[in-house]
Structure 1
Amino acid sequence: MTRNDTNFGPIDLSRRTFVAAAALAGGFGGTAQTTAEASDHDTVEVGNGSYTTTLPDGMEEPPETISVTSSVESPINSNDWWSSLLWEEFSENLFVHPLYADASENGLDVGFPTEWTFERDQSMNHAVAMMDLETDLTIGHTGGTFDDARVDGWGDWSVSTVWGDGTSTTLRATMAQGSPFVYCEFDGGDAELSFPSTPDVDEEGNVLLVESNGTHYGVFAPEGATWDGIGTDTLTSDLDGEGYLSVALLPDGSDDALSTYGDYAYNRIVDTRVDWTYDEDESIVESTFTFETKNRPESGADGVLTTLYPHQWKYSDASTESWSFTTQRGEQRVYTGSSVSVTYEYRGMLPYLPDVGNCDPDELEAYVQEVADEDELIRPGQEDDGDDTYWTGKNFERLVQLLPIADAVDADDARDRFGGALRDELEIWLDATVSGDTDSPDVFYYNDVWRTLLGYHDSHGSASELNDHHFHYGYYVKAAAAIARTDPEWADLDNWGGMVEHLIRDYAGFDRNDGEYPFLRNHDPYAGHSWASGTALFDEGNNQESSSESLNAYAAMIEWGEYTGNTELRDAGVFLYTTELHAIHEYWFDVDGDSHPPEWDHDYSSNVWGNGYWYKTWWTLDVEAIHGINFLPLDGYSQHLGWDDDHAETNYQELVENRGGDDFDYYPDLMWMFRAFSDSQDALGLWEANKDDYDVEFGMSRAQTYYWLTALDAIGSPEPSITADHSLYTVFSTDDGTVTYAAYNPTDSSITVSFSDGTSLEAQANSMAVTTGGDGSDEDDEDDGDDESAPSIDQFDVTETSTGPWTRFAVEWAVSDPDGKLDLVEVEMIDGSGTVVDSASTDVSGDSASGEDSVRERDGVSEYDIACIVSDENGNTSSETKTVTAS
């Protein structure tokens, strides 16, 4: 489809606004009691748009008091694993992984959860898996109890909290996600460690080895410190005037662990920072996580000892130690160093699926016209919900999808009506000066206390609790991108683009020096995914349900950045999208089968919590909703759901089994569209049997479902092994080996998109380009027709390297490829039932490579097969297997 320069025509919509009241401005003011002050103006102009600094009448906003110290000046970083510290005097449970902690009047309670508790019902429509929480010790102060604990600063995945701020008796604790350490500082007294019962203690001068509730901790005080109370349930220290110590969760009670941890125990983390690069030519996203420390005199090594999550160590060349912890996220491996890098392939996304002409054009046009004939294209969401930010966004989604479909059938009038509705409604929301109905604000308000943009009407606590901004605002950005794609002038910063970028900066601010919005509000870079709750005021920590709407928001950034020429914003979108996607595969879909609890009866989690997993939703136990909430909105960014056909099949069969059949009635269109990834013919059959009699999901249309099903039936499932030197692309392949390459060119000149298998695709200006390769065989064609040479495994040695709770095996390998197209080496550990219990993979290239990976046994089975598999860029593979016996 080529660019259409038609200005979408207006539609009949009433204009709405609010009656302005007193304005809000101000800042943190250097205290925890942050109260807004009046300003002279209640609107701030941003190009053609504007936002208000006056709270609309009758609307709610977050509290004016934030639990921070006087040193906090930067925009509040809400929606984090530690956010409850900001909202109350102390905190709810904080899931640091591997530790859990909570702030109380006595100090910081610390524990290491190890046992799962499961809540299930017989219908399989409701299941919860959470770890049991038990405090192993409390880090307190000899000066007594405290009135509150306030946030004193934070890094990208770390936080420092102060008890007794403003008094002469204070305790400061610093925690970082993944770190087994809590770093503490004391003023006006010394450390007091209390335990639920008398712990076992080995005293080695200033260092203690403590066992409480069966868990080992190292306590590292300054040289010269002494301890009292050994043999009781309360230990007190004389810190020799230095005022610091650290407490560390140890993997065991060995001298080796205590000594190694001791080398890093005196390196207090003072900042954590993530930086990223997107190499478009190589389609690679590299994220570097850096630790800044303040090293005490007792330090024995530079850097930190921390752990890497599965979504990190599986995609990093970093060498990890033999120790690891089993946490709510699976195996977290111990790593030492000052920084660590994680590298992902960026496998592309599209603004919409390509038109491959596999449908009945008359039928498709009829479905397009069905929507075009509606009296109101922007509809109220649900009964009594009105036109809040979420349901307005769902309206936007439906129309965004219809635009290219209308173009595909030359339904110009319908296309213009859809585009006009998008434009008109967006401009209402993006302009605070529009007048109309006073009971429906349709406006964005800037709250200067929390440094956030709040849309009214709000929903799901998006204003008062700062929930779900990425879910809601992502739809707005996506709608704006759809307009920008064909009308770039509309998106200029001095037209409407400035307000659109305010929305992006609110939920995904990528400039850490932006004083108006926090850095990466919703996305947690070390956890790898976003958090939905702004408060995290739950016993189980923070959570995120609709991972798909999170991805949708970051995909919208990629599109917006491309259409507006803002490569910095686009690259941030690629980083967020790619990182979030890999975390979703690990923790929502558990594609490798090693992140969820072994006893979890599902292949999927609908909601990921700090402490575990849900198989249910916030509002219903319907199985279609439980699965569909992580599908919607299905779109060009959603193709990752079909990267693994077998996993898509497993997930679909689970929902069918728990549903009691495939007679879907809650989200039938979503179910059929997801089914198309694993069996497009079955999906089309379900559509044909029900297409005239089903309730269309609010953000979708019959046209979109029909278009999607027929397109995937023609081009197959997404093919993740082939990448491209362009941000807007996807590759598809069918069971018979036919490969389809699609790319959208957002520029005003033709471009050539090069794919990693050697295919080149010419894309004309402002259009989608499609080409097909393969000969219908089971193997893809290479340009020269010679792809028959498979790579070889030249070395494959397996050595048992450690024993303990688990046995680990080191696998040394060397591989080569006569065509110089090495791509991937995978090592799998397989039990007697054929289940892969552990795996590792390494990206390789060229004609030869060598390396070492490690895998470990999981469940005490003594005999395993270890397989080494090497593949090339054309999908050719070779493998060898060895049988090993664990000690």
Structure 2
Amino acid sequence: MRRLTTAVVATAVALSACSSDLGDATAPPSRSGSGSASPPGGDSAPLPASEIEPLVAALPELSLAPLPEMRLADGLTPPTNRWFSGLVFGEEPQPVFPLPLAFSMDDTSFGAGLPQVVTSETAIVGSHQQDVSVEVGDAATTVVAAYDDASVTLETRDADDRPLGRTTIAQGSPYVTHVAVADETLTTSTDFAGSGAVVTAETASGPWGMRLDGAELDGDTFSLGRGDSIVLFPVPEEGDLDAMAEHAVPLTGTTSSYSVGADEVTTTITYEADGTSAVAVMPHQSGAVDGACRLGTFPSVYGSLTLCAGSTLTWSAPRVRADGALDLSGLSNDDREELAAQVARDVDDLPDAPADTYFGGKWLYRTSQLMTIAEQVGAEAPAREARAQLVELLRTWTQPDGCLERSERCFGYDPAWKGVMGQTAAFGSELLNDHHFHYGYFLYAAAVVSEADPSLVDELAPVMTLLAADIAGGADTGTTPKWRPFDVYASHSWASGTSDFADGNNQESSSEAVTAWAGLLLWARAAGDEDLERQAEWMLGSEAHAATTYWTNFDTSEPVYDGFEHTAIGINWGGKRDYATWFSPEPSAILGIQLIPMSPSSGYLAEDPDRITANVEEAGDGPLGDYALMYAGLAGASEAASALEQARALPGDAIDQGSSRSYMLAFLMIQAASG
């Protein structure tokens, strides 16, 4: 999607290396997410425990919200911001969407269904019914017992807390695996029939199959001995029961790896099973479709999912360039003079910095951009003033023991949530909501201000490293999680910490997620952390590709969009997609939240000029319209020139806190000059 100026030798990075062996019914699950101090990957992963633990020890403990009671085995890191978080948090477990399936559970049972997709003018919704439910005899409780990059394992226990069986689901897998840990009896909601290793049932959503290994069927009841298993699955459209059954081997977990090349970033997920499984390919993974993809298709709210035989899924996305500042070198003298006058006004009018991590982070980011604009156009006094204010505030925020001295603009550590918390919460950040949105602004600003003064890196690094670890640690250190919000299979992040929703987790601001990884990359580069920089390259390219595929540039000719009357999505969930935002119904806000903050790294949005024009026309005027103006400029030089004239006349109160008139003018001047 973006032109590249630096070639990087492709480097593969292993992300996790072991999973539980559910074939051994006595072995407790042990996968990444276990909370152990030496998880798979250990010190070979970016931001390892040896680096993070001393930094956490220097922060004061900070508890802003009690950790709710969880359906989680002892010793596991609370899995916030995951596709399956709804199974763990909340008064009752919520449905989750390991596509192509919907899955749900309660204390004594579990069930799966094939989502039935309904498209309206403002939403694409998938159902979460249980086509087949399974009641576990003698069950009293069910908890999440293990999780890794793309799978989760539940453990059902009796009244004495003894395990009865373990159930594993995974993103991209059409199979639900249940392995008996002790003698147990399972009762299904639908009668299965057949003899031998494969039995079938008819449901309202179509045929389902079950492969038995040691289990015995009697009507609607299955008897399993220790180590026996069942694997439940739907039969896809134009699919074949026997072919599906052939690949219905018990799944034990997943691992993943990535590589960064000169032009692409590549992701591989391996589904660990005793044989060859099958995987569902999402639209953003379309490059993975090959000759093995003959098993049929499944519907989903994201489009048709192609089912392929195999136990690995590999796909690539364009590499995206991260820039700390706009390049104003090609502007005319008149443009530079206009910017010099405007940046002087904007720096002089800087408001007091907010105390919370969201608006406080945006203040830092905006000021860093004002500083670089002033420096490039020769506005020396505003540049010095912006730098002075920026450095002073960054030093305040990054004082490790700051929360012992004041009640705002500081960070602490919550050992229950295992998260780095800002003292003043915003938008549920005390519940781990939106941390990547917030902390991306801090990382971006810190990297920009350090470029001309590398001596600042060491001063800012202790807290900045912790912010990076909170959202992007490369392994579960027992202190911080692995990739808190980032979903390897979906290639994008999830914003809700606890995800107490029947539609799964969600993300609204795809652009702020991209900005987070651009900020992470820039900070890693400033800090000289090559491993973290490489990981950030992968996350940035992956998230940007998902952002265009599912939020701003989805293929409206695909059948799933028939009847959907808009060209952008406001919120994507695990099980639905909405033309909406959390804060405004205005079309300009729905588009604008996918653009904010139009950073110097936002060129990934420029891939389709015609779609840009269509999106802007639909958005019209209103909240976040300043970002729509900058976005319009990516469609071409003439569009940028028109948007520039509108930007000059835009009322000051129509400019978002994360931007400035100086930045908006500079951004559009660059696009207008490109013609």
Whether the TM-score (by the shorter chain) exceeds 0.5 is: yes
**Pick from 332, 341, 357: which aligns with 1:389?**
357
Alignment of structure 1 residues 196-215 onto 2, 5 Å: 201-215=192-206
Over residues 763-803 of structure 1, what are the superposed CA-to-partner deviations in whole Å (9 max), with x where a residue is unaligned? Answer: xxxxxxxxxxxxxxxxxxxxxxxxxxxxxxxxxxxxxxxxx
Equivalent position of 1:668 in the other structure: 625
CA distance in 2, matches of 1:322, 1:28: 37
Between the aligned partners of 2:494 and 2:403, the Cα distance in structure 1 is 35
Is the 2:150–2:171 contact (alpha carbons within 8 Å) kept by the matching residues of 1?
A: yes
| Counterpart residue type for residue 706 of structure 1 | L
TM-score (structure 1 length as normaliser): 0.67
Larger RCO (CA under 8 A, 6+ residues apart): 2
Please state how far the C-alpha of 1:132 moved relative to its aligned partner: 3.1
Cα distance in structure 1, aligned partners of 2:338 and 2:208: 67
- Could you say which residue in structure 1 is the equivalent of 2:154? 161
2:419–2:480 contact (8 Å) kept in structure 1: yes
Matching residue of 1:744: none
Distance 1:435 1:338, change over 3 A: closer
Q: Is the 1:84–1:92 contact (alpha carbons within 8 Å) kept by the matching residues of 2?
A: yes
Q: Which has the higher helix share?
A: 2
Which residue pairs with 2:317 in the alignment? 344
Residue 85 of structure 1 contacts residue 149 of structure 1 at CA under 8 Å; is this kept in 2?
no
- Quote the Cα distance in structure 2 between the aligned partners of 1:44 and 1:530: 25
1:454 aligns with 2:429: no
Cα distance in structure 2, aligned partners of 1:509 and 1:45: 15
Structure 1: runs of 5+ lacking an equivalent: 1-26, 31-42, 121-126, 230-234, 296-301, 381-386, 657-663, 716-733, 735-887
Find the aligned partners of 2:199 and 2:224 in 1 and give their Cα distance. Answer: 13
Which residue of the other structure, out of 172, 177, 187, is the alignment partner of 1:183? 177
Contact 2:117/2:126 (CA < 8 Å) preserved in 1?
yes
Distance 2:452 2:357 in 1: 24
Higher strand share: 1
* 8 Å contact from structure 1 (residues 389, 455) kept in 2: yes
Residue matched to 1:273: 255
Residues 212 and 596 of structure 1: CA distance in aligned 2, closer, same or farther (over 3 Å): closer
1:316-368 deviations in Å (ceiling 9; x for gaps): 66742241112122121112223232123314232222111145322211110
SS of corresponding position for 1:520? coil
CA contact (8 A) 2:87 2:95 kept: no
How has the CA–CA distance of structure 1 residues 318 and 276 changed in structure 2, closer, same or farther, with 3 Å as cutoff? farther
Length-normalised TM-score, structure 2: 0.87
Q: 1:665 to 1:436 in 2, by over 3 A?
A: farther
- Aligned partner of 2:7 in structure 1 is none
Q: Is the 8 A contact 1:316 1:343 kept in 2?
A: no
> Residue type of the partner of 2:358?
Y
1:226 to 216, 228, 238: 216
User: Using the alignment, how far apart are the partners of 1:643 and 1:467 within structure 2?
Assistant: 30
Give the CA deviation at 1:185: 2.1
Q: Verify the 8 A CA contact 1:315 1:344 in the aligned structure 2.
A: no
Residue 150 of structure 1 and its aligned partner are, at CA, apart by 1.0
CA offset digits 1:704-746 (Å, max 9, x no partner): 111111110111xxxxxxxxxxxxxxxxxx4xxxxxxxxxxxx
Matched, 1:264 2:243: no
Q: Equivalent of 1:362, from 321, 337, 341?
A: 337
Residues of 2 paired with 1:222 and 1:666: CA distance?
58
Partner of 1:441: 408
Could you say which residue in structure 2 is the equivalent of 1:748? Answer: none
Question: Counterparts in 2 of 1:518-537, with a 5 A limit?
Answer: 518-537=481-500
> Whole-Å Cα distance in 2 between the matches of residues 363 and 91 of structure 1?
57
**SS of equivalent to 1:184:** strand
Q: CA RMSD in A?
A: 2.6
Change (3 A) 1:29 1:609: closer
Which one has the largest radius of gyration? 1
Structure 2: 5+ residue stretches without partners:
1-33, 38-51
Match of 1:553 in 2: 516
Which of residues 366, 370, 374 in structure 2 aligns to 1:402? 370
Cα deviation digits, residues 384-412 of structure 1 (max 9, x gap): xxx21101011012112112210122112
Offset at 1:551? 0.3
Structure 1 counterpart of 2:467: 503
CA shift for structure 1 position 437: 7.7
Counterpart CA distance in 2 for 1:614 and 1:79 is 19
Structure 2 residue corresponding to 1:477, chosen from 428, 440, 443: 443
Question: Measured at CA, do residues 689 and 205 of structure 1 come closer, stay the same or move farther in structure 2, by a change above 3 Å?
Answer: closer
CA separation of 1:503/1:318 partners in 2, compared to 1, >3 Å: closer, same or farther? farther
Residue in structure 2 matched with residue 601 of structure 1 by the alignment: 565
Aligned residues of 1:272 and 1:292 also touching (Cα < 8 A): yes
Q: Give aligned-pair identity as a percent.
A: 26
Question: How far apart in 1 are the matches of 2:357 and 2:617?
Answer: 34
Aligned length: 622
Match for 1:236 among 216, 221, 224? 221
Change (3 A) 1:577 1:150: same
Partner residue of 2:132 out of 137, 145, 156: 137
1:482-631 aligned at under 5 Å gives the runs: 482-492=448-458, 495-510=459-474, 512=475, 514-593=477-556, 594=558, 596-631=560-595
Deviation at 1:377, TM superposition (A): 4.4
Q: What is the CA-CA distance between 1:432 and the residue it aligns to?
A: 4.0
For the residues of structure 1 that align with 2:110 and 2:421, how far apart are their CA atoms? 33
Match for residue 308 of structure 1 among 261, 264, 281: 281
- Checking the alignment, whether the CA contact within 8 Å between 1:89 and 1:149 is kept in structure 2 is no
Distance 1:100 1:435 in 2: 43
The 2-side partners of 1:353 and 1:543 are apart by 31
Q: Distance in 1 between matches of 2:402 and 2:669?
A: 42
Return the alpha-carbon distance in structure 1 between the equivalents of residues 143 and 196 of structure 2: 33
Residues 203, 240 of structure 1: alpha-carbon distance in 2 compared, 3 angstrom cutoff:
farther
- CA distance in 1 between counterparts of 2:538 and 2:65 reads 31
Secondary structure of 2:133's partner? Answer: strand
The SS at the match of 1:327 is coil
What one-letter code is carried by the residue in structure 1 that aligns with 2:71? S
Distance in 2 (CA, whole Å) between partners of 1:604 and 1:96 is: 24
**Aligned counterparts of 1:283 and 1:169: Cα–Cα separation in 2:** 48
Counterparts of 2:281 and 2:218 in 1: how far apart (Å)?
36
Work out whether 1:283 is the aligned partner of 2:268: no
Aligned equivalent of 1:794: none
For residue 53 of structure 1, report the CA deviation from its aligned partner.
Answer: 1.8
Q: Is 1:67 the counterpart of 2:58 in the alignment? A: no
- Cα drift, residue 617 of structure 1: 0.8
Q: Supply the distance in 2 between the matched residues of 1:248 and 1:637 (Cα, whole angstroms).
A: 42
Q: Are 1:285 and 1:345, in contact at CA under 8 Å, matched by a contact in 2?
A: yes
